Structure 1
Amino acid sequence: MKIPRRFLPSLAALSAFEAAARTGSVTAAAAELNLTQSAVSRQIKLLEQQLEVPLFWRERQSIRLTAAGHAYAREIRVTLEHIGAASMNLRANPSGGTINLAVLPTFGTNWLVPRLPKFMKAHPDVTINLVTQQAPFDFRTKSLDAAIHYGTGTWPGTECIFLCADVVTPFCSPEMQKQYSFRQPMDLRKAPLLHLKSRPDAWEQWLGYNSVPFDSVRGMLFDQWNTAGAAAAAGLGVALLPAFLFEEQLKNSSLVCALDRPMLTAGGYHLFWPTDRADYPPLLSLRQWLADECSSIL
């Protein structure tokens, strides 16, 4: 449905309002936009007249968002961010072959980035912009074409392909392995155990899987695989890690297998994309490349 022109404010007016709403100051908004205070005030007034809704309460030398203004600012901020991102992407790659890809930090740093040169060589016309984030990605509020995430493969409003299973194994430093001489699962209870914030019950699952009795499992808590792996390499404890994300550390022996007892978790790594991006040519190329690359992960 075509929106009547009277409901489409100018970009200048929207930018002035968003900056003033975010900073809480016409002066700060003017400095940010490189405009005069009167120019910013004029744009906001024009916007209020066009919408026929007051967006700010004016109190002496200060401004305060009305309830309507607060809701409107939140909505248009997302749109302005999308416009800005689209403009930057187009400038970076005028041919339009850009993919905004969200990825989990350790997956991106340790596995994806080292392999991206192969993709870029095969697809020199495609530019990939990476965004790292631990929390689930919302395609409705972010300018993203796809996301690599851990889970069960269900995400409303999206399609996905399975990339690889998630198999975790106890790893530690060579010194810790020598100190404790791990021989059976029960031996790991003698050592400090390191935990990942997003999977707080992973050790309980592993101990139960290996028939090791326990009351509670305590230890240091980390928010990312990388920091948990670094802590294990530093001798702070034993961490349950996916081997494919720590290939370099295993190769140089800063991490060693504490006990060869891998466990398949309930989730896996998937590539998700919004349904309306399913036929986007650069994304089709990335999907096929990722599927081929991940086929070798054990």
Structure 2
Amino acid sequence: MLDGRLLVDAHLHPPRLSTLKPAWTRWAERYGAPGWRSAFDEDGVVVPAAFDELLEAEGVDRAILLCEYSPKVTGIQPVEDLLPIVKHNPDRFAFLANVNPHVHYPIAAELLRQVELGAVGLKIHPVHGGFSAADPMMYPAYQTCAERGLPVVVHCGTSTFPGSANTMAAPELLDPVLRDFPELTVVLAHGGRGWWYDQAAFLALMHENVWIELSGLPPARLPDYYQRFDLRRLARKFVFATDWPGVPGIARNARALADLGLDDDTLAMALAGNALRIYFKSTTYS
């Protein structure tokens, strides 16, 4: 816990560094807190105990880990690399599946393979994968998630990695998906970062099952990013996340969110309750 509150970080990348392109490491070194490499051994492999201790020190109760199959932009972060971390402390760690229609076929079969390994949801990365979230190739994956009650996290924000297709980040591209799968839970990672804050906020307020994930967003800037909306109302749809290691500090970001003056119930939902509901079907908010 952090300052007496439950804390869930719903977006962390603990990859094996040798699987990544150099731009990823430059990003982590530029935006990450000093000492993030302490979670890795000399070969660039995450040491589960060290990573667990790092998150314990930051006050994180649950952490959602991400893999990624984007060979042209960031490289391959295979799901199998996350399993030793989850095995070390399943009470703290869970992970999301990742599929890319240019890499996986049949896409539903690969999703099910990762779900059988323990994935609690699906993350897709249209910007790095070079596809639209509304591409019909993705529909079998959405259908699988809808049937199994699994959330879908969609990267909705600009990326500076070379080769990124930032036009694919627009939240409005999800409109046909939300129409065709009204029961699907959708989380907007990065909350529309760049040019689409209004789109992301509108979708979250319009749809009960759409959420705004705060990864990569400095909490102190949220009133500016969403200035056209009632922040206290919108914050009830927030999911705390950092995009570790590209963050100045998990506890630092959580405290910055707490400093926005939200009421206790809303803050508890944003820091942990919403994530527990989405990923673990829990109603525990504090």
So what's the TM-score if we normalise by structure 1? 0.24
Q: Give 1 or 2 for the bigger CA radius of gyration.
A: 1
Name the one with the larger strand percent. 1
